[in-house]
Amino acid sequence: MRSDLQHLLITPAEMTAIDRAAAQSGIDSFTLMRNAGLAVTAAALRHFPDARRFVVLCGPGNNGGDGYIAARGLAESGADVAVFVLGDPARLQGDAARAWSDWSGPAAPISAFEPQAGDVVIDALFGAGLSRDLPDDVVHLIERVNASGVPVVAIDLPSGIDGRTGEIRGAAFATRHTVTFMAPKPGHWLLPGRSLCGTLKVFDIGIPARIVSAGAGSLRLNAPFLWAGWGGDLAASTHKFKRGHLVVFSGDRQATGAARLSAAAGLAAGAGLVTVATGKAALGINASHLTAVMVKEIDGSRELTKWLQDQRLGSFVLGPGFGIGKKARDFALALCDRSLVLDADGITSFQTNPGELFAALAKGGGQMVMTPHDGEFARLFPEIAGDDGLSKIEKAQAAARASHAVIVYKGADTVVAAPDGRAVVNNNAPPWLATAGSGDVLAGIVGAHLAKGMPAFEAAIAAVWRHGAAGAKAGPGLTAETLIGAIPPIS
Ligand SMILES: NC(=O)C1=CN([C@@H]2O[C@H](COP(=O)(O)OP(=O)(O)OC[C@H]3O[C@@H](n4cnc5c(N)ncnc54)[C@H](O)[C@@H]3O)[C@@H](O)[C@H]2O)[C@@H](O)CC1
Ligand SMILES: Nc1ncnc2c1ncn2[C@@H]1O[C@H](COP(=O)(O)OP(=O)(O)O)[C@@H](O)[C@H]1O
Ligand SMILES: [K+]
């Protein structure tokens, strides 16, 4: 499978349009269905050579059609095959009807299926066409199969997972393997869908890459080629100012550690210089804990404005441990014409009047990366967060549009979205990143990227990827401190 297609995320609606475009270009749609079904036959035989029986569960659409082809392929290879159907196969249409008529073996209703030891289930109930919650009989079937522990291979998507959102519509198979076609869908990588797909195989059924690419929108799976040109070796002529100067604002005496974590991460991620800007009360504490990172006393807005005349200050991180309130708002508003990472308390400070921030950013013309977790996201974008019809991707996109900022919507399936609609889903973050200070480290890496001149979207996606890679390298038991030491070079 071509790697550029592997990194496209295609929504079910886009995939339907791509199918149509393929048919209009003269490609025979039944050939595509046969290629899909036989890919599943091959995967099932490869993964389960010792299966006693393959049980193919076929639904009312083209996903079911793929299932009949897979069943026939398995039977022709000599395997024991049983087919169970949802609905009346006589009502199937088009390619699925033809696939059904080519399956000349017996078929029983799904209610008759009792999982047995040695069974391998091929799930062809629903794929991209799932459009509402599953009926009770299907929910009960899925629960029975999941409880039995028999392995499941899903065609396209585990039935019950919404391909657009990754949400479970009543119940979903927990599968060992999922075989999808041409490109992954958002539901394969957004949670909870991701946790139910098992290993994901993307199979090329023969739709030309140009048709797939032309029909794809602006969603991608995060990967280094998306920020190609921003990594690479340092030139001999490089000096520290060329690598960029990052500023991190410290909180008060009792909350200085978060800023130092961000600052240390920014330095490790490649900023040439890093300064912790601190109020007078915390100056001594910060100074006594910092070595390569510099310290600058900035008490209030007036001093900040004066200092900002230095245009070599390339980027700013505001929020980690900073404290919630007017000072955070004043500082953020003063930075709306610069490159700013707004995190944690910086985000929460605008809870009661987010519009003030968004308007200042639109007016200031700077670039901002906001890094909310679920709670912070809901504080700043309550209506978007509360819209259950939207996927996490669509929520991040709506928030980016509303705020004019790049949104890093954090979590195990972090989504990064830009105001222009581009979005990526990240998939390299291990669960042990859920530790105090891990978000501060991420903010520092984003800040380092902005300091070296990366555009906000590329700065954010590269940071999320390096943060995940650092987590994987540091391993379980990492702390925010050890995470910083594991940040890999920008690739
Ligand atoms: N993308 C492609 O080019 C190809 C797609 N193929 C297959 O086609 C599938 C999509 O086919 P369809 O669009 O027919 O969709 P599905 O087969 O996923 O399901 C559509 C059918 O299910 C019904 N339905 C939807 N939600 C339901 C619910 N909750 N309860 C009961 N019934 C429900 C719909 O009314 C419709 O009859 C893909 O997942 C893939 O497996 C393959 O045939 C190969 C070619
Ligand atoms: N289960 C998880 N799997 C992978 N990454 C996670 C998981 N939970 C949290 N993370 C990541 O860890 C970081 C935590 O950030 P945050 O919630 O701000 O924590 P803190 O404020 O303690 O630094 C984010 O980058 C988030 O995406
Ligand atoms: K399926």
Measured over the CA atoms of residue 482, residue 483, residue 484 and residue 490, the dihedral's sign is positive
For residues 39-66, one letter each, b for 16 or more C-beta atoms within 10 angstroms of the residue's C-beta and e for the rest, the string is: bbbbbbbebbeebebbbbbbbbbbbbbb
Is residue 491 in a domain?
A: no
Give the Å distances, CA to CA, from 74 to 277, 281, 426. Answer: 67, 74, 36
178 lines ligand 2 (CB under 6 A): no
d(CA 127, CA 66): 10
Give the pLDDT confidence score for residue 426 in this predicted structure.
98
Instruction: Tell me the average pLDDT across 375-401.
Output: 98
d(CA 102, CA 61): 16
Tokens of 384: 């978007």
Which atom of ligand 1 is found nearest the CA of 65? 43
- pLDDT class of 240 with cuts at 50, 70, 90: confident
Give the pLDDT confidence score for residue 236 in this predicted structure.
72
Instruction: State the ligand closest to the CA atom of 414.
Output: 2
Q: Check whether 416 has a pLDDT greater than 60.
A: yes
State the residue range of the domain holding 122.
3-217
Give the pLDDT confidence score for residue 2 in this predicted structure.
57
Q: Check whether 115 has a pLDDT greater than 60.
A: yes
436 lines ligand 2 (CB under 6 A): yes
Q: What is the DSSP string of 190-221?
A: STTGGGGS-EEEEE--S--HHHHHHH--SEEE
Q: Whose CA is nearest to atom 26 of ligand 1?
A: 130
Task: Give me the amino acid identity at 262.
Answer: S
Give the pLDDT confidence score for residue 239 in this predicted structure.
75
As a whole number, the mean pLDDT across the chain is: 96
- Model confidence pLDDT, tens digit, residues 147-176: 999 999 999 999 999 999 999 999 999 999
Backbone phi and psi for residue 271, each to the nearest 5 degrees, phi listed first: -65, 140
Is residue 490 in a domain?
A: no
Would you tell me how many other CB atoms lie within 10 Å of the CB of residue 237? Answer: 6
Give the pLDDT confidence score for residue 491 in this predicted structure.
77
Of 15, 95, 130, 140, which is best to mutate to test ligand 1, by the most ligand atoms within 8 angstroms of its C-beta?
130
Q: What is the 3-state secondary structure (H, E, C) of 282-320?
A: HHHHHHHHCCCCEEEECCCHHHHHHHCCCCCEEEEEECC
159 is in an annotated binding site: yes
- 327 in Cβ contact with 303 (< 8 Å): no
Instruction: Tell me the average pLDDT across 421-434.
Output: 97
Q: Whose CA is nearest to atom 41 of ligand 1?
A: 63
Q: Check whether 1 has a pLDDT greater than 60.
A: no
Q: Whose CA is nearest to atom 15 of ligand 2?
A: 439
Task: Give the containing element (helix H, strand E) for 246.
Answer: strand 245-249
The CATH number of the domain where 448 resides is what? 3.40.1190.20
Expressed in angstroms, the distance from the first to the final Cα of the chain is 23
- Model confidence pLDDT, tens digit, residues 444-488: 999 999 999 999 999 999 999 999 999 999 999 999 999 999 999
Instruction: Tell me the average pLDDT across 243-272.
Output: 96
Closest CA to 200 of 181, 219, 213: 181
Quick one: 199 and 265 in the same domain? no
Q: Whose CA is nearest to atom 27 of ligand 1?
A: 130
d(CA 187, CA 179): 13
Total domain count for the chain? 2
Is residue 33 in a domain?
A: yes
Instruction: Tell me the average pLDDT across 3-23.
Output: 91
Give the pLDDT confidence score for residue 5 in this predicted structure.
81
132 is in an annotated binding site: yes
Is residue 44 in a domain?
A: yes
Tokens of 288: 């006594």
- pLDDT class of 242 with cuts at 50, 70, 90: confident
Instruction: State the ligand closest to the CA atom of 467.
Output: 2
Quick one: 108 and 54 in the same domain? yes
* Helices vs strands, H then E, count in the chain: 21, 17
Least confident among 4-8, 354-358, 403-407, 484-488: 4-8
Quick one: 182 and 53 in the same domain? yes
- Model confidence pLDDT, tens digit, residues 53-111: 999 999 999 999 999 999 999 999 999 999 999 999 999 999 999 999 999 899 999 99
299 is in an annotated binding site: no
Percent of the chain with pLDDT over 90: 94
414 lines ligand 2 (CB under 6 A): yes
Quick one: 210 and 252 in the same domain? no
Cα pseudo-dihedral 4, 6, 9, 11, rounded to 10: 110
Q: Whose CA is nearest to atom 31 of ligand 1?
A: 134
Quick one: 64 and 208 in the same domain? yes
Quick one: 324 and 407 in the same domain? yes
Give the pLDDT confidence score for residue 458 in this predicted structure.
97
Q: Check whether 3 has a pLDDT greater than 70.
A: no
Measured over the CA atoms of residue 278, residue 280, residue 282 and residue 285, the dihedral's sign is positive
User: In terms of C-beta density within 10 A (0-12 exposed, 13-18 middle, 19 or more buried), how is residue 449 classed?
Assistant: buried
Q: What is the ipTM of this complex?
A: 0.95
Is residue 449 in a domain?
A: yes
The CATH number of the domain where 87 resides is what? 3.40.50.10260
Q: What is the DSSP string of 77-134?
A: TT--EEEEESS-GGG--HHHHHHHHH--S--EEGGG----TTEEEEEES-STT--SPP
Instruction: Tell me the average pLDDT across 239-243.
Output: 76
Q: Check whether 382 has a pLDDT greater than 60.
A: yes
Quick one: 208 and 79 in the same domain? yes
> Is the backbone peptide bond immediately before 192 cis, with ω within 30 degrees of 0?
yes
Give the pLDDT confidence score for residue 71 in this predicted structure.
98
Higher pLDDT, 233 or 160: 160
Report residues whose beta carbon is within 6 angstroms of any ligand 1 atom. Answer: 15, 19, 32-33, 36, 59-66, 126-135, 155-156, 181, 205
User: In terms of C-beta density within 10 A (0-12 exposed, 13-18 middle, 19 or more buried), how is residue 140 classed?
Assistant: middle
Quick one: 253 and 330 in the same domain? yes
Give the pLDDT confidence score for residue 400 in this predicted structure.
98
Task: Give me the amino acid identity at 376.
Answer: E
